[in-house]
Chains A and B, each alone.
Chain A
């Protein structure tokens, strides 16, 4: 079997001192609140009413744990993602798979036998939040994405397909023919696979090969039991079924969104499940919103930022998408600057997806230190020269400040973007930024006087 699986990642977290094990009995209605309070990733080993199951959560809800998944230092995540995603490895098909050790098919399908939690106060029901969703289109091939599932009945869930995505496109094409869209959902895969699934790749790009590149080994896939799709062999659980050709007609949500806001009721398709397979003694993965979603978004945004800077011929030194902006709406970068490149960098980063706030600094600023950033903004920025405002750019409905409710049904919002060039202005001598340094600091040590 492959080296990198969900369980091997739990072992990696444990070895790094980042995994808490809770052995006392826990009810599914308690899981979310408990997971939110833990300062480590957490595995609940005794789930009331579900003796065969364990539940794991908050696996990548900090940058440190994401670095464990990537196998690199925290400030190298974006660079690792960029380098590895450039070397995709195609998946391979295997015959036997742990994810099919137990099979529930037809009338035996029962979602209530899975410990689905009620996660947030205003959620419309229990959710399966951490999914690796696979679909296929005869023309465009296999697609993988992440889509939340809301419990409806023992054989049905809602699925959020409101936002533009490849699976939504596939579903629309099937719907136009009056046909269901077969899909398969894997739960409990390595975070690198989740990163690949959340990557907004061009429609003909293989997320499965991207996952292989991030892993450094081919993702092993197995054929589903009831639909013509393949799923990751080492997943904890698989849901096989189809999106019914009913369009966007079933209520779904609210759910605690990745924007850290409780969402609205949405109208979405229904996922009817034909088969559930899972490991013996499976582990249910409760992706903790918003933090795990946001930390999974950050490397993707950061890598896009690096790419934009390189296309603009600007040399990046460091980059981060702060989790306060959900790893999605802001980018902060330091660069090795030549004259004028502060503005080039701002323009390049503002072009990334829905990023709406950018700060660019010189490479002497530690962009992970908010005091350093404040200092650079205070002393290297003139608002009339170094603030760049870009009006009328593409936006996301989920941002309340774009007032998308004023647009009417189907209206697409726009936003204004702000970039700050906090590099040393051209014409200002660098000597004026010489930092205070204590006399004798390099040779006089406090420990010698204790």
Chain B
């Protein structure tokens, strides 16, 4: 897993966040790099949604 994907994973294990909040935290990262990291989390199928549409990850 890339360092950015690891950072995203840690953040979403801590609390549920809307996608735009996750984006806001990484505005300094090129968009393509951000999308690739987000895709890494999708590929391992660990992203969950709460009833507000926010993303979270259950701690393993």
B53 touches A29 (CB 8 A): no
| Among A48, A112, A251, contact of B36 (Cβ-Cβ < 8 Å) | A112
Chain B residues in 8 Å Cβ range of A253: 53
B27 touches A29 (CB 8 A): yes
| Among A151, A251, A254, A264, contact of B35 (Cβ-Cβ < 8 Å) | A151
Residue A125 is within 8 A (CB to CB) of chain B in the complex = yes
Q: How many residues of B contact A (CB 8 A)?
A: 17
A235 to chain B, nearest CB (A): 23
Chain A residues in 8 Å Cβ range of B38: 125, 151
Chain B residues in 8 Å Cβ range of A29: 23, 27, 31
* Interface residue SS majority, chain A: loop
Which positions 100-128 of chain A face chain B at CB distance < 8 Å? 111-113, 115-116, 118, 121-126
Kindly report which residue of chain B lies nearest to residue A252, judged by CB atoms: B49
B39 touches A152 (CB 8 A): yes
The answer to whether residues A154 and B36 also contact, given A27-B31, A251-B49 and a CB cut-off of 8 A, is yes
The answer to whether residues A118 and B53 also contact, given A113-B32, A156-B42 and a CB cut-off of 8 A, is no
Chain A residues in 8 Å Cβ range of B20: 118, 121-123
Residue A340 is within 8 A (CB to CB) of chain B in the complex = no
Kindly report which residue of chain B lies nearest to residue A267, judged by CB atoms: B49
Chain B residues in 8 Å Cβ range of A28: 31
Chain B residues in 8 Å Cβ range of A265: 49, 53
| Among A118, A153, A251, contact of B23 (Cβ-Cβ < 8 Å) | A118
Residue B43 is within 8 A (CB to CB) of chain A in the complex = yes
B39 touches A154 (CB 8 A): yes
Chain B residues in 8 Å Cβ range of A151: 35, 38-39
Chain B residues in 8 Å Cβ range of A27: 31
A121 to chain B, nearest CB (A): 6
Chain A residues in 8 Å Cβ range of B35: 111-112, 116, 126, 151, 154
| Among B23, B27, B53, contact of A254 (Cβ-Cβ < 8 Å) | B53
B49 touches A118 (CB 8 A): no
Residue A49 is within 8 A (CB to CB) of chain B in the complex = yes
Distance, CA A251 to CA B51, complexed state (A) = 12
Distance, CA A156 to CA B45, complexed state (A) = 12
Distance, CA A287 to CA B23, complexed state (A) = 21
Chain A residues in 8 Å Cβ range of B53: 122, 124, 253-254, 264-265
Which positions 11-49 of chain B face chain A at CB distance < 8 Å? 18-20, 23, 27, 30-32, 35-36, 38-39, 42-43, 47, 49
| Among A118, A121, A153, contact of B42 (Cβ-Cβ < 8 Å) | A153
Which positions 37-55 of chain A face chain B at CB distance < 8 Å? 48-50
A398 to chain B, nearest CB (A): 16
Kindly report which residue of chain A lies nearest to residue B50, judged by CB atoms: A265
Distance, CA A264 to CA B30, complexed state (A) = 28
The answer to whether residues A153 and B39 also contact, given A29-B23, A265-B53 and a CB cut-off of 8 A, is yes
Distance, CA A111 to CA B32, complexed state (A) = 9
A49 touches B27 (CB 8 A): no
Distance, CA A254 to CA B36, complexed state (A) = 21
Distance, CA A123 to CA B43, complexed state (A) = 20
Distance, CA A377 to CA B36, complexed state (A) = 57
Distance, CA A351 to CA B19, complexed state (A) = 40
Kindly report which residue of chain B lies nearest to residue A118, judged by CB atoms: B23
Chain A residues in 8 Å Cβ range of B36: 112, 154
Distance, CA A254 to CA B38, complexed state (A) = 17
A49 touches B42 (CB 8 A): no
A191 to chain B, nearest CB (A): 27
Which positions 150-167 of chain A face chain B at CB distance < 8 Å? 151-154, 156
A253 to chain B, nearest CB (A): 7
Distance, CA A122 to CA B18, complexed state (A) = 7
- The 11 sampled A-B contact pairs (Cβ below 8 Å) are A48-B30, A49-B30, A49-B32, A50-B32, A118-B19, A118-B20, A122-B18, A153-B43, A253-B53, A264-B53, A265-B53
Besides A49-B32, A125-B38, A151-B35, 18 more A-B contacts (Cβ < 8 Å) are A48-B31, A49-B31, A50-B32, A112-B32, A112-B35, A112-B36, A113-B32, A116-B35, A118-B19, A118-B20, A122-B18, A123-B19, A123-B20, A151-B39, A152-B42, A153-B43, A154-B39, A265-B53
The chain B residues found within 8 Å of chain A, CB to CB, are 18-20, 23, 27, 30-32, 35-36, 38-39, 42-43, 47, 49, 53
